[in-house]
């Protein structure tokens, strides 16, 4: 059986051959275009959505992004202004990024976001419970939020940089999937360290093991500080190596964020681009 380090080294080798325009375009189609700033306003979110709406005109030969991700109070703003029905509306909920509040409040916030138009909800694993080994409570929060959002997809953020130990990251991955997560995600991007290739290998291994046990495919999203093209290609290669090409689509793999989209466009066009 390959170790986590051996899997990472294999992915790094494949990554060198994946530095191609075709892969850059593929990654572009997997991006959750994100605005999660304290200074976000309705007009700023509308501006972002308008850029998504006009993208296919400005870049007719490149694929559209997968989703627009905003704070829950802006879900209706995206819904009212987004013209491309293939682009999903994602929100961060459950008292993001700390997840430190009452489960009833987290549940209500996520349900309200879906009512306002969200297709996907990203929540943070309750680290206050997980790190105290209160696994039933941590699981209950995920399952009750999943129940509250109906058919909307649930991404559970592990904040892997705070868990640190690979075996515990694996345990958190399994807990999230068993509790109802449709995706597991590395990080909020609001704490340090955020996404790491090492955590991605552990989480993808957990997804693979869970699939072998249950036959259910769970998605993966590395997030937090991933803006350079080479870094994105490495995460793409990790998914390709461990989970296989059937995971390399927006239903099972997402990556952030807006700076990455600009860097990919710059790489593809061979000039500095700041479209988003």
Please identify which of the residues 32, 122, 182, 231 carries the catalytic annotation: 122
β-pairing, 120-124 with 153-157?
parallel
Q: Residue 96 is encoded by which pair of tokens?
A: 């993001």
- 203 by Cβ neighbours in 10 Å (0-12 / 13-18 / 19+) ranks as buried
Q: Give DSSP secondary structure letters for 121-158.
A: EEEE--HHHHTTT-HHHHHHHHHHHHHHTTTSEEEEE-
- Catalytic annotation on 10? no
Please identify which of the residues 7, 106, 107, 221 carries the catalytic annotation: 221
Alpha-carbon gap, residue 122 to 175, rounded angstroms: 16
* Element housing 221 (H / E): strand 219-221
**Does residue 135 contact residue 168 with C-beta atoms inside 8 Å?**
no
**Does residue 101 contact residue 136 with C-beta atoms inside 8 Å?**
no
- 219 by Cβ neighbours in 10 Å (0-12 / 13-18 / 19+) ranks as buried
Question: In terms of Cα–Cα distance, which of 213, 232, 212, 236 is closest to 224?
Answer: 232
- Catalytic annotation on 185? yes
Distances (CA, A) of 82 to 25, 171, 189: 22, 38, 25
**Does residue 170 contact residue 130 with C-beta atoms inside 8 Å?**
no
**Does residue 138 contact residue 100 with C-beta atoms inside 8 Å?**
no
Tell me which residues are annotated as active site.
122, 185, 221
């Amino acid at each position: 059986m390959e170790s986590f380090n051996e899997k990472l080294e294999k992915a790094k080798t494949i990554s060198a051959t994946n530095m191609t325009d075709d892969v850059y375009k593929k990654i572009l189609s997997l991006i959750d275009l994100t605005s999660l700033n304290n200074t976000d306003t309705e007009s700023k979110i509308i501006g972002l959505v308008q850029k998504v709406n006009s993208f296919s005109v400005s870049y007719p030969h490149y694929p559209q992004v997968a989703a627009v991700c905003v704070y829950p109070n802006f879900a209706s703003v995206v819904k009212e202004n987004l013209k491309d029905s293939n682009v999903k509306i994602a929100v961060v909920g459950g008292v993001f990024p700390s997840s430190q509040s009452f489960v009833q409040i987290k549940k209500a916030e996520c349900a309200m976001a879906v009512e306002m138009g969200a297709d996907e909800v990203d929540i943070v694993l309750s680290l206050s419970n997980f790190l105290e080994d209160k696994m039933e409570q941590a699981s209950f929060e995920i399952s009750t939020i999943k129940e509250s959002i109906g058919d909307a997809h649930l991404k559970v953020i592990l904040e892997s940089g705070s868990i640190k130990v690979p075996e515990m990251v694996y345990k958190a991955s399994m807990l999230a999937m068993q509790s109802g997560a449709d995706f597991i995600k590395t990080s909020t991007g609001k704490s340090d360290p955020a996404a790491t290739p090492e955590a991605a290998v552990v989480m993808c291994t957990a997804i693979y093991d869970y699939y072998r046990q249950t036959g259910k495919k769970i998605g993966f999203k590395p997030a937090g500080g991933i803006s350079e093209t080479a870094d994105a290609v490495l995460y793409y290669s990790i998914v390709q190596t461990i989970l296989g090409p059937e995971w390399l689509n927006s239903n099972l793999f997402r990556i952030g964020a807006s700076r990455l989209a600009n860097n990919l466009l710059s790489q593809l066009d061979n000039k500095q681009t700041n479209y988003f």
